[in-house]
Amino acid sequence: MPRGKKSNGVGAANGVGDNNMEAVRQALGTLGRGAKPKAIHSHILSEYQLDVHPNMISSYKSTILKGSGKGKKRGPKPKSNGAKGHNIISDLKTLKEMKARLGADGVRELLGLLA
């Protein structure tokens, strides 16, 4: 069974351990959403003693601020096959209009042709 990544204990006192993304998440909470990667880098270095490259901070920041991405699905919308979008109310209104034009016997005759 594989062993987990060994922690060097640095930053563990503040609850981030070696988790760079958690350090960036907490730094964003402290400094705000508009903090620049260099400011976040110096904050993480002084608070958690972790050296995270500013490019990685920028990547983590965009991932954190973007959210999980579960809200929207990519690709074209599925096409309706008719059964899903079937609206019985509009069908009944159409049938009522046909009855007004053709009369009850006319509608029965049409239904007899379709059966």
Whole-number pLDDT of residue 3:
67
Burial of 42 (0-12, 13-18, 19+ CB in 10 A): middle
- State the pLDDT confidence band at 60, using cuts at 50, 70 and 90: very high
Residue 113 CA: distances (Å) to CA of 47, 104, 106, 107, 109:
82, 14, 11, 10, 6
Does the pLDDT value for residue 36 go beyond 90?
A: yes
Of the spans 23-27, 86-90, 111-115, which averages the highest pLDDT? Answer: 23-27
Mean of pLDDT values over 84-90: 73
Residue 110 CA: distances (Å) to CA of 86, 87, 90, 95, 107:
21, 21, 18, 11, 5
Question: Which residues are within 8 A (CB) of 60 and not within 5 positions of it... i.e. 6 or more apart?
Answer: 20, 21, 24, 25, 52
Q: Provide the number of structural domains found in the chain.
A: 1
Per the domain annotation, does 95 fall within a domain?
A: no
Whole-number pLDDT of residue 90:
86
Whole-number pLDDT of residue 9:
53
Round to whole Å and give the CA distance between 77 and 59: 30
Per the domain annotation, does 19 fall within a domain?
A: yes
Round to whole Å and give the CA distance between 87 and 10: 63
Round to whole Å and give the CA distance between 37 and 60: 10
- State the pLDDT confidence band at 54, using cuts at 50, 70 and 90: very high
Per the domain annotation, does 40 fall within a domain?
A: yes
- State the pLDDT confidence band at 80, using cuts at 50, 70 and 90: low
Per the domain annotation, does 86 fall within a domain?
A: no
Q: What is the pLDDT of residues 97-111, one digit of tens each?
A: 999 999 989 888 888
Per the domain annotation, does 81 fall within a domain?
A: no
Mean of pLDDT values over 8-36: 81
Question: 5 in helix, strand or coil?
Answer: coil
pTM as predicted: 0.51
Per the domain annotation, does 62 fall within a domain?
A: yes
